[in-house]
């Protein structure tokens, strides 16, 4: 409403088709994240494939919380975290807490972060993936009452960092085209 | 419309509520952890329901993905066709020699059994199932099988691939079953070292090679020794191939699994009619509190 008053020009009518289009664009970040998560679980036949799931999920949550927080609100992050726990066989709540913490920190720092270059955003993400891997490692160990080897957590952090640029390229393209509600 | 435009127009109460969502949800995630700890079967049922829901999607995806994988393998395989061929010739020769030995031994075995009036074991019934998804996680090793409705697969049945032991069925859904691999942290398998016939326990550590523990003091596992299952405790039939002993460090005998655990495509689930031990549940629960 407010924006409509400020910018002159012709405006499309609020038809049902257009509303559906806008809704689809709003849903794109969450839906694409879930689809990527499901794809990560197909047996692709390489070792340590299970690490792909938390890596992809964290990268998607980080990107969309940073650049389109309206389409990635906390309840959606909660549901995606629950899916991560169920698909990734983590103790219930571990993925949820990890993702919500990451989401909260990203939203708090987004004023500063969105103005930085891609490299700076990626470097900050290194901290996020290390923190997320450490948090889920510690919580899993705590909830299953046993000391786990830190190797998988380290590998998870490294894989998450390495995957981010590839996912970010796709997400940036989507962010500017199919996921942009202003283009509806 | 929700979104950036809506936020600064929203009244103060709505803004305050929006700020409360995240702390409330973080609190809920702690509640979820407690719930998962209090009722471990809840998570298991939710997982099997989810597995049942997504298994058809994976079954549809399996074909194109398999084609892509085969093409990739073909492309990489072209490079070393010659070396591979030589290796195969050599291996073939060796296998022929072994085949003649095996046939002779088999004939001898039949003769001896006939002389001893040996009562043969009942041949086990089995179903063959396709691995549709990796049902493990960063801290768990398992696969999800698509077994179709009315499958008759039960908890505790034994999964083998064409080379050896894969693991045990731990959870059964309507059209899927989850197999805990022998490399999982919660896997404990009674085994026998084939040369010395000494007993040991094979424990998973989430790594590619599970470790041998509790082997007898006088007969340490030898490098390259074959390891087979033991029928002790009634959880496994005797003499299923598990793998070979390999030392990566002194006094740490590990087993290289015979089964190709990182690229499972099709496994057979055998019903040996054993009910000695129910397979351990996920997440460190080793005792069964409620029957399914």
List, for residues B236-285, the tens digit of each pLDDT value.
888 889 999 999 888 889 999 999 888 788 899 988 877 655 544 444 44
CB contact under 8 A, B142 and A1: no
Q: Which of B33, B139, B263 sits opposite A93 (nearest CB)?
A: B33
* Residue B203 or residue B7, greater confidence: B203
Name the residue among A183, A129, A176 with its Cα closest to residue A156.
A129
**Closest Cα in chain A to B131:** A43
Structure tokens at A93: 């709540």
Which B residues 65-124 touch A at CB under 8 Å? 65, 69
* Residue B78 or residue A134, greater confidence: A134
pLDDT band at A110 (very low <50, low <70, confident <90, very high): confident
Which residues of chain B make contact with A145, given a CB cutoff of 8 A?
A: 284
pLDDT band at B9 (very low <50, low <70, confident <90, very high): low
Structure tokens at B291: 């029957």
Q: Which of A86, A144, A181 sits opposite B284 (nearest CB)?
A: A144
B194 min Cα distance to partner chain A (Å): 29
Which residues of chain B make contact with A151, given a CB cutoff of 8 A?
A: 207
Which residues of chain A make contact with B29, given a CB cutoff of 8 A?
A: 78, 81, 93, 96-97, 100
B38 has pLDDT over 70:
yes
Phi/psi of residue B59, each to 5°? -60, -40
Interface test with A, best of B134, B257, B282 (most A CBs within 10 A): B134
pLDDT of residue B290: 44
Q: Which residues contact A59 (CB under 8 A, 6 or more apart)?
A: A125, A160, A163, A164, A167, A168
pLDDT of residue B278: 56
Average pLDDT over chain B, rounded to an integer: 82
pLDDT of residue A56: 93
Distance CA B283, CA B137 (A): 11
CA atoms within 13 A on the CB side of B164: 18
Distance CA B168, CA B276 (A): 13
Is the separation of the CB atoms in B275 and B154 below 8 Å? no
B209/A contact by beta carbon, under 8 A? no
pLDDT of residue A1: 46
User: Burial level of B232, CB count in 10 A (0-12/13-18/19+)?
Assistant: middle
Q: Where are the domains of chain B?
A: 4-38
CB contact under 8 A, A94 and B136: no
Q: What is the mean pLDDT of residues A169-176?
A: 86
pLDDT of residue B1: 42
pLDDT of residue A11: 67
User: Burial level of A155, CB count in 10 A (0-12/13-18/19+)?
Assistant: middle
pLDDT of residue B78: 78
pLDDT band at A55 (very low <50, low <70, confident <90, very high): very high
B18 min Cα distance to partner chain A (Å): 9
Q: Which of A53, A90, A104 sits opposite B22 (nearest CB)?
A: A104
Q: Which residues contact B135 (CB under 8 A, 6 or more apart)?
A: A89, B51, B142, B143, B144, B178, B179
CB contact under 8 A, A78 and B25: yes
**Closest Cα in chain A to B263:** A45
Distance CA B229, CA A118 (A): 54
Q: Which of B4, B37, B185 sits opposite A143 (nearest CB)?
A: B37
What is this structure's pTM?
A: 0.78
B103-160 per-position pLDDT tens digit: 889 888 888 888 888 777 777 888 898 888 777 778 888 888 888 787 788 888 899 9
Indicate the length of chain A as a whole number.
Answer: 184
Provide the terminal-to-terminal Cα distance of chain B, rounded to the nearest Å: 48
């Amino acid at each position: 409403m407010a924006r409509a008053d400020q910018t002159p020009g012709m405006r499309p009518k609020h038809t049902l088709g257009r509303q559906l289009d806008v809704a689809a664009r709003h849903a794109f970040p969450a839906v694409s994240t879930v689809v990527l998560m499901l794809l990560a679980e197909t047996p692709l036949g390489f070792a340590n494939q299970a690490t792909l799931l938390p890596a992809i999920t964290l990268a998607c949550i980080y990107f969309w919380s940073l650049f389109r927080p309206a389409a990635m609100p906390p309840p959606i992050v909660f549901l995606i975290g629950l899916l991560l726990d169920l698909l990734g066989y983590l103790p219930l709540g571990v993925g949820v807490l990890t993702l919500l913490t990451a989401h909260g920190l990203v939203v708090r720092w987004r004023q500063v972060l969105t103005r930085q270059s891609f490299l700076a955003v990626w470097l900050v993400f290194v901290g996020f993936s290390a923190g997320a891997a450490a948090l889920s490692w510690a919580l899993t160990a705590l909830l299953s009452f046993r000391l786990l080897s830190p190797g998988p957590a380290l590998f998870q952090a490294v894989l998450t960092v390495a995957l981010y640029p590839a996912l970010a390229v796709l997400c940036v393209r989507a962010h500017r085209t199919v996921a942009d509600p202003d283009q509806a | 419309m929700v979104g950036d435009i809506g936020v600064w127009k929203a009244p103060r109460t709505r803004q305050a509520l929006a700020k409360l969502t995240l702390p409330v949800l973080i609190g809920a995630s702690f509640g979820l952890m407690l719930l998962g700890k209090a009722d471990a079967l809840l998570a298991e049922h939710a997982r099997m329901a989810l597995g049942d829901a997504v298994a058809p999607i994976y079954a549809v995806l399996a074909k194109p993905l398999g084609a892509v994988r085969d093409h990739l393998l073909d492309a990489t395989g072209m490079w070393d066709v010659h070396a591979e061929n030589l290796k195969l010739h050599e291996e073939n020769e060796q296998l022929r020699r072994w085949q003649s030995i095996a046939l002779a031994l088999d004939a001898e075995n039949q003769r001896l059994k006939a002389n001893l009036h040996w009562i043969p074991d009942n041949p086990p019934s089995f179903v063959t199932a396709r691995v549709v998804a990796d049902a493990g996680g960063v801290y768990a090793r398992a696969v999800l099988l698509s077994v179709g409705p009315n499958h008759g697969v039960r908890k505790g049945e034994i999964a083998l691939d064409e080379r050896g032991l894969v693991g045990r069925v731990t959870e059964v859904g309507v059209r899927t079953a989850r197999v805990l691999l022998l490399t999982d942290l919660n896997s404990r398998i009674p085994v026998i070292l084939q040369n010395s016939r000494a007993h040991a326990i094979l424990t998973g550590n989430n790594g590619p090679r599970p470790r041998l523990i509790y082997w007898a003091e006088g007969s340490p596992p030898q490098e390259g020794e074959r390891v087979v299952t033991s029928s002790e405790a009634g959880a496994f039939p005797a003499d299923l191939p598990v793998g070979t002993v390999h030392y990566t460090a002194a006094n740490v005998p590990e087993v290289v699994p015979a089964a190709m655990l990182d690229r499972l495509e099709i496994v057979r689930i055998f019903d040996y009619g054993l009910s000695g031990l129910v397979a351990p549940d996920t997440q460190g629960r080793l005792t069964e509190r409620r029957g399914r």
